[in-house]
Chain A
Amino acid sequence: MNKFLGNKTAILLFILPALLLYTVMVFYPIVQTFFRSMYEWDGLSEGTFIWFDNYTRLFQDSLFFTSLKNGLIFAVIITVTQIGIGSILAFAVADAKFKGRKLLRISFFIPVVLSITVVCQLWLSIYNGEYGLINKIFEMIGLEYKQDWLSSSKSAIVAIAFVNAWQYMGYHFALLLAGVKSVPEQYMEAARIDGATKLQAILKINIPMMAETYKFCLVFAITGGLNAFANMYIMTSGGPGTSTYTLTYLMYRSAFRVGEFGYGSAAAAILVIECLIATLIINRLIARERISY
């Protein structure tokens, strides 16, 4: 093995295809985005180099701050819901005494494999102000709490975030379930002998030992939230007005509706930086030491 790892030429040769693909598909476009963000450019004509003017404009644009705020709200809601409920479900389903766990395991994962368009259409009907399921339920139980879920600038972003949270909760559930199962049984057995309750065992043994899994889930949920686009594109088209804009939506609007590709690239560059910072912070704070069983 040591001899194999010592052959650096072989290693380089093996990673070359992946490295090439990564460079062409990821690295080069990101560099281009940063480069183009310093241009006044409509995507077709020759651009004008304007240094950091797009960034200056961005930081003076109230739409940028609305988008930033919405991205954060979206990220927080999906992170708390997906990881919180995903954990509870994973711990419940991992328990051998839990009846019907096989069925539940599959059921929780079904929304993940559905097309996002289908899910959004489904929730558009559920949220409908006139005949939507949620309002009908309120009506049935006699509550006067009928809402225009997606047409109110305050509730729209929260309503959309819950759709994403619902759809991808199963994904986090599957990851966390695998994490729960990877904790060696002898630790749990030792805890039981020492008289620990189920909750204590989860809090003191399971969760700390699943730090790596949680780190992965957090990175996925937070960057996924900051990047959100498809849900608002399908459900509200960023509306009402601009109330469900995120940075990705701002990028789309700038590039394709307004024809300012340079400005859109600046929004994309900020988004890349934002996601990088979030990933770095998560890596710094969680699972700093590798746990080995």
Chain B
Amino acid sequence: MKKMAIFMMSLCLVFVAACGSAGNNEAANNKTTDEGNKETATNAAPEETKAEEAKPVKLRIYAQYADDDTKLPYDYAVAELKKEMPNVELELEVQAQDDGQKLKTYAATGNLPDIYQAGLDIITTFKKSGNILELDSYVDELGFRDKMYPSTMNTLVADDGHTYAFPYAGNEFVLLYYNKELFEQNGVKVPTTYDELMTAVKAFNAAGITPMSLFAKEKWPTVALFDMFVTRNEPQGILKLDKGEASASDPAYKEAADKIIELVKAGMLPKGATNLNYDQAAALFHQGKAAMFLNGQWEIAESTKQLGDKAGWMYFPGKDAANYEASKYAFSGGGGPGGYAVNPDTKDKDVAAKVAAFLSLKYAEYKYTERGNPLVSTKVDKAIVTEYPPMMKQLSDDIAKITSTTSFAWGLSDAKFKAAIEDASQSLMTGAYSSEQFIEDVNKAIPAAK
């Protein structure tokens, strides 16, 4: 009887082990086959490649497709692709807002789409695991480098000098929007110093208006706010911490944390700010219930639509008038490597890479010509269809004057530091978190200097 039980248990374990190893073997076999393909592709004559291109090709693509700002450029790029490469059919899978979990799971299970949108985090992780194709040869072949602006080269080339994704977004910025009418009606001066900012906070609170709206449930806007304060004294902001070249206890960072705590305690943010999502926080600003609002420059279109000429953006206040002038063009935000990347195990790497490059160019083209957004990474030779709103004109005029940029939270290279600064910055927004705690929590996660 005992033997029988042992036999049954062994059978179970063998079954389980077989399930596990079967998957691995399959993955290994796929890899070997693809290695073979790689060689074939490299040795193939250009004529053969051309002939292959004419064959119908179906590619799975994993891309952002959530709102007008992502749907319209994508649809335009796909329509243009149909004209340029009619044999290519794209099967879209909408990108989930999940910190890349779905994509990583696809990679882990050998189910990665042929083309996918990748940010710095995905590039860094997939580079190690061999799930992203190095695109250097395609950059040369397609002359992609010539299509880039010199100032956006950082979006094409990663730290290691290689290209892993064809970018479309340029360097973007964090802006502090304000409602001009509310400032005028309440006799509040647009702040240029911290003291004036505090005066504005008090004045708006007294008038029953929320001084600043922030969608702090998403953690990156809290990091952006902290970064804006830091950049008054340290132009590299959070980027320096991410590189391990500064400590959170350095005066620029400590002062920024202290100032935020002081302003939050004075009622700068709406009640329950750490639980507000974009829709709720933006509604406060768009409906004239909040005087200021922090978001990226992509908010310009929506704020112009909702508030018209009443909306504007201001240079971030400084410690004093001299500091304000000195740090006026030290902008928060920035860009990094990212865009359309290619799965190294895709059947036809050449076609996939060409499609990825083409989509990036057309995506940027639409944003530039139709969405009133000059902040794209590639040059566009078509005329603008939709005129820039005044706020975008102001930003466009300032771009050449910008002395430094930092990074958005999602552009940070160290995932551990990113999670820590996001958590700590959000805690700052409660007002019940000391700068000492902030320093301790952030310093624990700062990577060693590279």
Interface residues of A (CB under 8 A from B): 8-9, 12, 16, 19-20, 23-24, 28, 42-45, 62, 124, 127-130, 146, 148-154, 235-243, 253, 256-260
Contacts and interface: CB of A to CB of B under 8 A. Distances in A.
Contacts of B98: 256
B121 to A, nearest CB: 8
B430 A241 contact: yes
B217 A44 contact: no
Contact of A130 (B126, B271, B433): B271
Contact of B419 (A8, A45, A149, A257): A257
Contact of A253 (B130, B271, B419): B419
A240 B429 CA distance: 8
Contacts of B101: 256
Contact of B275 (A16, A45, A150, A256): A150
B432 A152 contact: yes
Q: Which label, helix, strand, loop or mixed, suits the secondary structure of the A interface?
A: loop
A44 B129 contact: yes
B271 A20 contact: no
A259 B415 contact: yes
Contacts of A149: 272
Interface of B: 1, 4-5, 8, 12-13, 15-16, 19, 98-99, 101, 104, 107-108, 121, 125-126, 128-131, 217, 219, 270-275, 415-416, 418-419, 423-424, 426-427, 429-430, 432-433, 441
Contacts of B16: 23-24, 28
A152 B430 contact: yes
A200 B277 CA distance: 52
Given A44-B131, A257-B419, A241 B433 contact: yes
A9 B274 contact: no
24 contacts: A23-B12, A42-B128, A43-B108, A44-B125, A45-B128, A45-B130, A129-B271, A130-B271, A130-B272, A148-B272, A150-B275, A151-B430, A153-B433, A235-B275, A236-B274, A237-B219, A239-B219, A241-B424, A241-B433, A257-B415, A257-B418, A258-B416, A259-B121, A260-B416
A28 B441 CA distance: 36
Contact of A9 (B4, B129, B219, B424): B4
Contacts of A253: 419
A236 B104 contact: no
Contacts of A62: 441
B430 A153 contact: yes
Contacts of A23: 12-13, 15-16
A44 B107 contact: yes
Contacts of A154: 432
Nearest to B129: A44
Contacts of B13: 23
A259 B125 contact: yes
A19 B131 CA distance: 36
Contacts of B272: 127-130, 148-151
Nearest to A237: B217
B104 A43 contact: yes
B8 A16 contact: yes
Given A43-B108, A253-B419, A257-B415, A12 B432 contact: no
- The interface centre, meaning the residue of B8, B108, B131 with most chain A CB atoms within 10 A of its CB, is B8
Contacts of A20: 12, 15
